[in-house]
């Protein structure tokens, strides 16, 4: 167990619980952001975004192999000295929040005063929108402070159109699970340079070695300057 090799002895004081929660939420923000900004990781995460309706079941839609990747994001919490039971408790509370923020808008509407602190359902609906102004925004799990701090926060402005930019059948299990891998393999196979093959894995979705730029930030910028 990695906790046996911990760096610090932190104990169970109240402020250690607070620090554990803040660290967990901070790591989640960056792990989630990397899953959007690194194409190889997007192949795992894109499954979650294939839902075309926000509801509780959307919270559990994910890649069947995601369990291989997820532990590596959070193992450092216990390495630093936070007890595994504390981590599990914080993780459980966080997962309950995840289910709540995926509820249908007919149950939980717009609450701007809560948005100043938390990732509420309407803030997370933005994250699931494929509208250009919503792409790759609002990554945080519980606290909206991380998005505000790192420039990835945006408010709910119009009803999101849910799903991903790639046309797929969201009811086809194999297509949902493997479409991103299929497209990545096709692009890598058609690219001659080893450097460009590697870049296709590491650059954001929408980047291509031939100069095409369909990255989320580029699409947002084009929409902003369009008349």
DSSP 71-100: HHHHHHHHHHT--HHHHHHHHHHHHHHHHH
Are 178 and 16 spatial neighbours (Cβ–Cβ below 8 Å)? no
| Any domain includes 51 | yes
pTM: 0.92
Q: Which stretch of 94-108, 119-133, 155-169, 194-208 has the lowest confidence by average pLDDT? A: 94-108
Q: Do the domain assignments include residue 82?
A: yes
- Residue 98 · residue 104 · CB < 8 Å: no
| Percent of the chain clearing pLDDT 90 (strictly above) | 64
Please report whether residue 221 resides in a domain.
Answer: no
Length of the chain: 227
| Tens-digit pLDDT profile for residues 86-109 | 999 999 999 999 998 998 877 776
The answer as to whether 31 is a domain residue is: yes
Percent of the chain having pLDDT more than 70?
97
9 belongs to a structural domain: yes
Q: Within a domain: residue 161?
A: no
Residue 39 lies in a domain: yes
Start-to-end Cα distance in the chain: 57
Radius of gyration of the chain (CA): 19
Number of domains in the chain: 1
Q: Between 134 and 71, where is the model more confident?
A: 134
Which of the four pLDDT bands, split at 50, 70 and 90, describes residue 171?
Answer: confident
In a domain, 49, yes or no: yes
User: Residue 94 sits in which domain range?
Assistant: 2-106
pLDDT tens digit sequence for 30-39: 999 999 999 9
């Amino acid at each position: 167990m990695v906790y046996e090799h911990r760096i610090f002895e932190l104990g169970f004081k109240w402020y250690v619980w607070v620090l554990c929660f803040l660290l967990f939420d901070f790591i989640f923000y960056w792990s989630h952001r990397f899953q959007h900004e690194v194409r190889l990781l997007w192949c795992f995460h894109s499954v979650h975004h294939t839902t075309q309706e926000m509801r509780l079941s959307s919270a559990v839609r994910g890649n069947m192999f995601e369990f291989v990747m997820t532990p590596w994001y959070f193992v450092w919490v216990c390495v630093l000295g936070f007890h595994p039971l504390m981590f599990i408790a914080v993780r459980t509370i966080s997962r309950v929040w995840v289910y709540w923020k995926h509820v249908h808008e007919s149950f939980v509407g717009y609450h701007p005063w809560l948005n100043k602190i938390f990732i509420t359902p309407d803030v997370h609906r933005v994250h699931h929108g494929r509208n250009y102004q919503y792409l790759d925004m609002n990554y945080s799990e519980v606290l909206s402070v991380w998005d505000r701090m790192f420039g990835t926060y945006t408010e709910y402005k119009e009803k999101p159109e849910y799903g991903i930019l790639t046309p797929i059948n969201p009811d086809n299990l194999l297509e949902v699970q493997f479409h991103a891998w299929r497209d990545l393999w096709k692009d890598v196979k058609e690219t001659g340079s080893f450097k460009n093959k590697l870049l296709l894995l590491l650059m954001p979705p929408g980047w291509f070695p031939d100069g095409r730029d369909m990255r989320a930030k580029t699409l947002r910028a084009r929409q902003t300057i369009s008349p």
